[in-house]
Amino acid sequence: SLNKMNYIRLRKNNLCVENLPAHKLAKKYKTPFYCYSLAQLKNNYHAVNNAFKTIKPIICFSIKSNSNLALLKELKKMGAGADVVSIGELLKATKVGISAKKIVFSGIGKTEEEIRMAIKKRVLLINAESESEVNLINKISKKISIKTSIGIRLNPNVTGKTHKKISTGGKNEKFGLVYKDFINLCKKISKMKNLKLEGISVHIGSQITNVKPFKEVLSAINKIINKTKINFKFIDLGGGMGISYTKKGRQLNLKQYAQLVNKFIKNKNSKIIFEPGRFIIGNTGILITKVIYIKKSNAKNFIILDAGMNNLMRPALYDAHHQILPLKKTNNFLKGNIEFVGPICESADKFSKEKRFQKIKEGDFVGLTNVGAYGMSLSSNYNTRPTIAEIIVKGSKHKIIRKRQSLQNLVNN
């Protein structure tokens, strides 16, 4: 498939990030820390760009998946726009130089302050999710004499067959407007003087690895277009493109998705927008962590890491599985009930259970893989632990792109 190239991999028994053995980084930087491959980031962005090259979509990187400024700068250089969901993300997008004309603002609970900022910056689209929000956007636009471009998010009643906590497209979810409400709101907007209805947007959830739900989404959009006869300038298909989290796992077939979209867009003069997060950033990152203690208890081997659920919340929040790899591979194995856990005072603070793992000892390092998306961005100071460093690797070079939070800063906040 289009995204096969893997820049974080075993080379001669060393887990490497591009040309750099990860154990070298583990000796240099205080663990735990996130480490990203720039080549992988470029590879992924270009994979999306190439798959859809015939329709030249606007690719709005979903900043919620990873908001590191250095990574955002790299994406900006590649031509990415941004999907933002808060004033903070909006300011970060503009700070790295992403043009407002490539920014879409999503979210069901935008505040007045956020809407005012988005209007003033003249973002490409504010994707509204309720009639109240539309009224507020109109009111603020009127006050500052601007005609604002908006989209409406459709709830297409399509579920992505993904984990229930990352599924957003079902009719019982809080997102978007269901068919009837969507149609009614279109009529109301046509009478609002300070709004231009330019977009229809959808996002049915994350980590979707099969094109079928996307196909259903496209027919739901066609149904709206046929009914309203609106020639939407932008059709925003959201993100959700799934990646593989294991060696044999599947990822979304971009080629198939592109074929569907190409067919859908034929005879329409709308521009397609995508909001991918995970597909672009997910496999670029690894979380490097040290084994603090190994504890035998009740016929189990607990491997206690210095990274916890505050650093990587996906396993606790979504039952997500991130493969754990030793930084140096050997052929001696430990068998039995092995459980990798973090140091946090929560029983949900566990990463994976294994029946077989390479023999490791206290002080060794391991890497949690595919943590570039919703890793650092979902992290917290829970248990009053500092936010950790982020490192980027380019070839054999490495540098810090976010410092570990100092104890002083942590304690005084």
Tokens of 202: 């959808």
CA-CA distances (angstroms) from residue 140 to 122, 130, 282? 13, 16, 37
Output phi, psi for 136, to 5 deg: -65, -40
The answer to whether residue 238 forms part of the interface with ligand PLP (CB under 6 A) is yes
Instruction: Provide the mask over 83-122, with x wherever binding to ligand PLP is found by CB under 6 A and - wherever it is not.
Output: x----------------------x----------------
| Distance of closest approach, residue 291 Cβ to ligand PLP, in angstroms | 30
Taking CB under 6 A as the criterion, which residues in 169-208 touch ligand PLP?
A: 203, 206
Q: Which is the catalytic residue, given 35, 60, 186, 345?
A: 345
Q: Can you tell me the distance from the alpha carbon of 254 to that of 276, in angstroms, rounded to the nearest whole number?
A: 12
The answer to whether residue 372 forms part of the interface with ligand PLP (CB under 6 A) is no
Q: Which helix (DSSP H) or strand (DSSP E) does residue 334 occupy? A: strand 333-341
CB-nearer residue toward ligand PLP: 150 or 241 = 241
Q: In this chain, which stretch among 22-30, 57-65, 70-78, 347-355 interacts with ligand PLP, using CB under 6 A?
A: 57-65
**How far, rounded to the nearest angstrom, does the alpha carbon of residue 18 sit from its chain's CA centroid?**
22
Tokens of 166: 């990352």
Tokens of 216: 């259903």
The answer to whether residue 21 forms part of the interface with ligand PLP (CB under 6 A) is no
Q: Is 292 helix (H, G, I), strand (E, B) or coil?
A: strand
Candidate list 42, 76, 278, 385; residue touching ligand PLP; CB under 6 A: 278
Q: Can you tell me the distance from the alpha carbon of 273 to that of 268, in angstroms, rounded to the nearest whole number?
A: 14
Give residue number: closest CB to ligand PLP. Answer: 239
Tokens of 5: 């190239």
User: Catalytic: 345?
Assistant: yes
| Distance of closest approach, residue 356 Cβ to ligand PLP, in angstroms | 31
CA-CA distances (angstroms) from residue 250 to 8, 244, 246, 407? 18, 5, 8, 41
- With 0-12 / 13-18 / 19 or more C-beta atoms within 10 angstroms meaning exposed / middle / buried, residue 408 is exposed
The answer to whether residue 275 forms part of the interface with ligand PLP (CB under 6 A) is yes
| Distance of closest approach, residue 150 Cβ to ligand PLP, in angstroms | 15
Candidate list 37, 62, 148, 194; residue touching ligand PLP; CB under 6 A: 62
Tokens of 47: 């994979």
Candidate list 81, 160, 213, 239; residue touching ligand PLP; CB under 6 A: 239
Interface residues with ligand PLP (CB under 6 A) are 62, 64-65, 83, 106, 203, 206, 238-241, 275-279, 373
Catalytic residue numbers read: 345
